[in-house]
Amino acid sequence: MLLKKQINREKLPCHIAIIMDGNGRWAKKRGKIRKIGHKNGTASVKIVVKAAAEMGVKFLTLYTFSTENWSRPKAEVDALMSLLASSINSEIVVLKKNNIRLMTIGNTSSLPLSVQKILNDAINVTSNNTGLTLILALSYSGKQDITKATQLICNDIEKGKLSISDITEEIFCKYLSTANIPNPELLIRTSGEYRISNFLLWEIAYTELYFTETLWPDFDKDEFYKAVIDYQKRKKRYGRTSEQTTKI
């Protein structure tokens, strides 16, 4: 509660993204299988989503399953898909009750059909909610998203809908899966790893990065508050000098 009181509600990051890492190591430290780590990780998801919604954060993107994760053992991938489906299914009522809208980015067509249906149902049911927008990055790759955007632009040029001279950063953004989502102002990565891991590569050009040793299943409200407090202590310069930003 003391940490929460330190947060300035007028300087909240509009969009927070999280690389949820450390489920496997959390389980290994306790002599348990990785599946148990992933299951405990879903509890942290619920805690952080609730904390973000209560705080007034507008967008929260969770790196839930990357394209690289498909290369994991089939048994683990199957367990993750099952856990994803059951978690979404059980949380639909909570999302509606708390005015949370669900969205996804990534190649969700590669997910099992049963998972796609549950996701689509949850997205449709929560589409009119106006509070926090929860974005799940599923079968997602930053490089893949940029590549796909380039292909779409080339396709529109071939059709005469766009010319090369029309292409600007603003136009390019409109072809990304995050087109209608503001860029994250804060990116959190848990478990002590200092990598971006192919996540929102275009979008995080000026994002503040926060790394913590805490494994994801141990990441609670206080850990979330610490990240936000740390963010609020920083000064963004966007290429300017400190003196210039003071005048703005």
- Structure confidence by residue, pLDDT tens digits, 87-139: 999 999 999 999 999 999 999 999 999 999 999 999 999 999 999 999 999 99
Q: What is the pLDDT of residue 241?
A: 57
Question: What is the average per-residue pLDDT within 4-8?
Answer: 94
Residue 73 lies in a domain: yes
When pLDDT is cut at 50, 70 and 90, the band that residue 83 belongs to is very high
Residue 180 lies in a domain: no
The range of the structural domain enclosing residue 63 comes to 14-141+185-229
- DSSP class of residue 66 equals E
Least confident of 7-21, 207-221, 234-248: 234-248
- Are the beta carbons of 127 and 54 closer than 8 angstroms? no
- Cβ neighbours around 1 below 10 Å, total: 7
| Residue 197 scores a pLDDT above 80 | yes
Q: What is the pLDDT of residue 240?
A: 61
When pLDDT is cut at 50, 70 and 90, the band that residue 141 belongs to is very high
| Residue 25 scores a pLDDT above 80 | yes
CATH number at residue 56: 3.40.1180.10
| Residue 58 scores a pLDDT above 90 | yes
Active-site annotation holder among 21, 23, 40, 145: 21
Residue 243 CB contacts under 8 Å (≥ 6 apart), including other chains: none
| Residue 214 scores a pLDDT above 70 | yes
Q: Rounded to the nearest 5°, which phi and psi values hold at 24?
A: -65, -45
Phi/psi-derived region of residue 47, left when phi > 0, alpha when psi is between -120 and 50, beta in every other case? alpha
When pLDDT is cut at 50, 70 and 90, the band that residue 242 belongs to is low
| Residue 238 scores a pLDDT above 80 | no
Q: What is the pLDDT of residue 236?
A: 73
Mean pLDDT of the chain: 95
Question: What is the average per-residue pLDDT within 72-90?
Answer: 96
Closest CA to 83 of 36, 129, 24, 153: 36
Query: Residue 227 burial by CB count (10 A; 0-12/13-18/19+): exposed, middle or buried?
Result: buried
Residue 38 lies in a domain: yes
Q: Give residue 184's Cα distance to chain centre.
A: 9
| Residue 217 scores a pLDDT above 80 | yes
Query: Residue 181 burial by CB count (10 A; 0-12/13-18/19+): exposed, middle or buried?
Result: buried
Strand partners, 101: 133
- Cβ neighbours around 127 below 10 Å, total: 10
Residue 107 lies in a domain: yes
Indicate if 69 belongs to the active site: yes
- Please state, in angstroms and rounded to a whole number, the distance separating the CA atoms of residues 190 and 24: 12
Q: What is the pLDDT of residue 1?
A: 61
Strand partners, 63: 19, 137
- Please state, in angstroms and rounded to a whole number, the distance separating the CA atoms of residues 124 and 119: 9
Active-site annotation holder among 8, 23, 40, 69: 69
Residue 170 lies in a domain: no
Closest CA to 150 of 135, 136, 162, 138: 162
Q: What is the pLDDT of residue 21?
A: 98
Residue 212 lies in a domain: yes
Residue 221 lies in a domain: yes
Q: What is the pLDDT of residue 247?
A: 53
| Residue 74 scores a pLDDT above 80 | yes
Query: What is the tally of structural domains in the chain?
Result: 1
Residue 153 lies in a domain: no
- Please state, in angstroms and rounded to a whole number, the distance separating the CA atoms of residues 196 and 19: 8
